[in-house]
Amino acid sequence: MISYNLESDLISPMVKIRSKEINTSRRYSFVEQNPYCQSSINPVDEVNLGFLEEFVEKEKQDKINSSSNKEGRRTDFNSKYIPESTLLMKKLTKSSQNVSQRFSFFTTDSNEIIHSPSLSGLVDSEQSISKLFKNPTWWLDCSCPTDVEMKVLAKAFGIHPLTAEDIRMQEAREKVELFRNYYFVCFHTFEADKESEDYLEPINVYMVVFREGILTFHFSPITHPANVRRRVRQLRDYVEVTADWLCYALIDDITDSFAPAISSVEKEADNIEHSVFVSPLDYGNMLLKVGMSRRKVMKLMRLLSAKADVIKMFGNRCQSSTASKEIPIENENDNIVHPGADIALYLSDIQDHVVTMFQNLKGYEKIFSRSHANYLAQLQLQSIKSNNRITDMISRVSLIGTVMVTTNIVTGLFAMNVTVPGEHTGDLIWFFTIFAIMIVATVACYYLGKILIDKVKDTDLKSK
């Protein structure tokens, strides 16, 4: 067990487990082969922490046996699934130097956070894990849970098999679902590290919200839990921090994380628009810049596209919870957990923020599209100008060649092996006279051809 004060609540690097690394053919067999998920769900307001306690004790005993035996010894607890979880743990350990924060436990009335690489590490050797969840408004954050851990948590907290399946198979659709003793929220964040090859790739965050606490699951390292815990420390003296409020705060922090990326898109749009209209064209990089910026915008729009509907649905659930409180409940088992009505106002603010960001991205996409079209138009215009210059040069060369033909005629006539005028005079008068006539004829033909070419150009311009 590793405990940290909230002042030093930092997120260390952790390996990223993408959905492509999971065998999707086991999607439905996960529920069929899981005897713990097939059993009946715990009654409302009853959490089977004894099952979690049993698993933690067996895990502690397995660690003791492993430390005494170099080869280790597998526990007999659901040993059918142990090999896959063991391989995943080995993969996590090999790919990351620090996996101590796979599980983080936090309560709103405490200044400490418990980080552990396993469920058994959340408590000391002689401490009962069930005591952790008797604190008011607890929060257990799970990163890259294995099959065994997922089944244990599902059984211990009465999580429906469909919810457990969505989490384990990393369901990508954002949604809000109500169950008997909790409600389930799936929300997307993204990889914010610009140096990462997965930059702007979606990361699924799953929230299972009970009356007394919240479970969160994700399969990539994210900073949102640390940000929310820091926010709780600052505001718990002014607001009532409930499980619903923690869910809202996590959604709000995910939404706010889009702001830096959208600000960078805005700067890129201004720079590209300025480069197209004012700065000299950079033929090598401009198309690449425009293409990469448009791709970035489309990724952000795809991430934000469903969020407004999900938050609106979330708000409707809050309103339905207000209505349900006004209706007397005849059967206690019909008291379904609804999102708290006190966070409806917060959710409307998040929805306005999401809609505003989405509209801004649509505006930036129009700027990029217009800049792209203007850049291609300028390329076409410069291509036409270059062709015109080449055509004018070729026409002048052709004119000079045509003029020189007349001089070749004169020299050809006087070079024939026949008697020519001035052959026997004995002076140079005829030579200089013929040479002067050739020069005059060449200059006259050149200017005459130039006048004709200029008239043709003027005619083309008038016709256009």
pLDDT at 442 over 90: no
382 within domain boundaries: no
pLDDT at 40 over 70: no
Residue-averaged pLDDT of the chain: 76
65 CB-near residues (< 8 Å, 6+ apart): 72, 73
Q: Which residue has the higher pLDDT, 447 or 339?
A: 447
Give this prediction's pTM: 0.72
pLDDT at 427 over 70: yes
The pair of structure tokens assigned to 145 is: 């849970």
377 within domain boundaries: no
Where among 217, 250, 283 does a domain terminate? 250
Per the structure, the complete domain to which residue 67 belongs is given by 1-250
Q: What is the pLDDT of residue 22?
A: 41
Per the structure, the count of domains in the chain is 2
Q: Which pLDDT tens digit goes with each residue over 377-406? A: 888 888 888 888 888 788 777 877 777 777
Q: How far apart are CA 279 and CA 247, in angstroms?
A: 48
182 within domain boundaries: yes
Q: What is the pLDDT of residue 343?
A: 79
Least confident window among 90-94, 185-189, 293-297, 409-413: 90-94
pLDDT at 359 over 60: yes
Q: What is the pLDDT of residue 207?
A: 95
Q: What is the pLDDT of residue 283?
A: 64
Q: What is the pLDDT of residue 36?
A: 43
Q: How far apart are CA 294 and CA 195, in angstroms?
A: 19
Backbone angles phi and psi of 368, in degrees to 5: -65, -40
- What percent of the chain is modeled with pLDDT above 70? 74
Q: How far apart are CA 273 and CA 269, in angstroms?
A: 6
To the nearest 10°, report the CA torsion of 265, 266, 267, 272.
Answer: 80
Where among 198, 228, 250 does a domain terminate? 250
Closest listed residue to residue 229, CA positions, set 315, 137, 120: 137
pLDDT-derived band at 131 (thresholds 50, 70, 90) equals confident
pLDDT at 459 over 80: no
Average pLDDT, integer, range 403-425: 74
Q: What is the pLDDT of residue 34?
A: 47
Where among 226, 250, 274 does a domain terminate? 250
155 within domain boundaries: yes
Backbone angles phi and psi of 172, in degrees to 5: -90, -10
Q: Which residue has the higher pLDDT, 289 or 420?
A: 289
Q: How far apart are CA 186 and CA 188, in angstroms?
A: 7
Q: What is the pLDDT of residue 125?
A: 73
Average pLDDT, integer, range 337-366: 85
pLDDT at 457 over 90: no
Q: Which residue has the higher pLDDT, 244 or 92?
A: 244
Average pLDDT, integer, range 280-292: 76
Average pLDDT, integer, range 122-137: 82
339 within domain boundaries: no
Average pLDDT, integer, range 242-257: 92
Least confident window among 113-127, 284-298, 345-359, 409-423: 409-423
Instruction: For the sheet with 138-143, list strands across it.
Output: 2-5, 112-116, 103-107, 138-143, 213-218, 202-209, 183-190, 175-178
Residues comprising the chain, all counted = 464
401 within domain boundaries: yes
Average pLDDT, integer, range 304-326: 74
Q: Which residue has the higher pLDDT, 340 or 264?
A: 264
Closest listed residue to residue 41, CA positions, set 141, 159, 208, 124: 159
CATH of the domain at 7: 3.30.460.20
298 within domain boundaries: no
Q: How far apart are CA 116 and CA 101, in angstroms?
A: 5
37 within domain boundaries: yes
pLDDT at 70 over 50: no
Q: How far apart are CA 332 and CA 335, in angstroms?
A: 6
446 CB-near residues (< 8 Å, 6+ apart): 399, 400, 403
